[in-house]
Amino acid sequence: MNDATSDNFDGSVADRLAAEALIVDVDGFEGPLDLLLTLSRTQKVDLRKISVLDLARQYLTFVEKAKALRIELAADYLVMAAWLAFLKSRLLLPPDPTEEGPSGEDLAAHLAFQLERLQAMRDVAAKLMARDQLGRDFFARGITQQVEQVRKVEYTATLLDLMQGYARIRTKDEFRPFVMDRDAVFTMEQALERMRGLIGFAGTWTAISSYMPEGWDADPVKWRSATASTFAASLELAKEGKVELRQSDTFAPIELRRRDGR
């Protein structure tokens, strides 16, 4: 890097040379901030004391040069150039009290902060990489031993299981699967069977209640079951196309008739 003092306002020859050297290597920069950081080094001062105004000038000179040399700069370099031109004008012109927004000094201070922070990150990154590293300076165990997963199945049975098992075998002839006792249930199968036998005579509309089994009306539980299954059986028969159903009104008796010839 060529010498460039911080007070060469018009951009000395050295400054220009430095800028040109940078341009040749423009692909080597990781964005405008990186370029600014490199440029700031030419000021040879602590980053905290950097002259942002000088830096802006250096950067703009750099961009001008690049344009003159017809080097295409990525958009973000140009955005930064525009912003720095703005910053430069803010820093040079006396502050306008009517103008809103941050002052030129605030913006410059933030830029200086960004540069300092980036530099700090680079320094610690270098420190980090200079540390002793695993697999390079210190080493892990060469012969490793994996923890074996041993899966053990333990079967259990209780005395009760055993006795029930034995009881089951010794009594299997008496054994019948558990079923609900169905004395009070008139199944749909029963209803269907009964109705199939009767519908042959149902030429005219008859209430389905007349198909209820005999002797089931005494017990209300039985009656309810018989009603449900008879109704379900009627629907089944209607689905099969054996009968027609009708009901004149809600809750009116449902009537049934044989469906002829079809």
Partner 1 sequence: MTDDTEIETKVEKSLFEAPPMGEQERMVEAILFATAEAVTTKELNDRMPHGADAAEALVHLRKRYEGRGVNVVKVGDAWAIRTAPDLGFLMQKETVETRKLSRAAIETLAIIAYHQPVTRAEIEEIRGVSVSRGTVDQLLEMEWIRFGRRRMTPGRPVTFVVTQDFLDHFGLESARDLPGLKELRAAGLLENRPPPGTMPNMGEGDVDSEEEIEEGQSELFED
Enumerate binding residues for partner 1 (CB under 8 A). 30-34, 76, 101-102, 106-107, 109-110, 113-114, 116-118, 120-125, 127-129, 131-159, 161-175
Nearer to partner 1, 139 or 251 (CB): 139
Minimum CB separation from partner 1 for residue 85, in Å? Answer: 17
Minimum CB separation from partner 1 for residue 184, in Å? Answer: 23
Long-range contacts formed by 224-233: CB under 8 A, 24+ apart: 225/184, 225/185, 225/186, 226/186, 226/191, 229/186, 229/187, 229/188, 229/190, 229/191, 230/186, 230/191, 230/195, 232/188, 232/191, 233/188, 233/191, 233/192, 233/194, 233/195
Residue 258 β-bridge partners: 243
Nearer to partner 1, 101 or 261 (CB): 101
Minimum CB separation from partner 1 for residue 193, in Å? Answer: 31
- Are 21 and 2 in contact, with CB atoms under 8 Å apart? yes
Minimum CB separation from partner 1 for residue 176, in Å? Answer: 9
Nearer to partner 1, 49 or 262 (CB): 49
CA distance 186 to 195: 13
Q: What is the amino acid identity at position 102?
A: P
Minimum CB separation from partner 1 for residue 44, in Å? Answer: 20
CA distance 75 to 71: 12
Contacts of 106 (CB under 8 A, 6+ apart): none
CA distance 117 to 120: 5
Nearer to partner 1, 162 or 252 (CB): 162
Nearer to partner 1, 141 or 262 (CB): 141
Nearer to partner 1, 134 or 179 (CB): 134
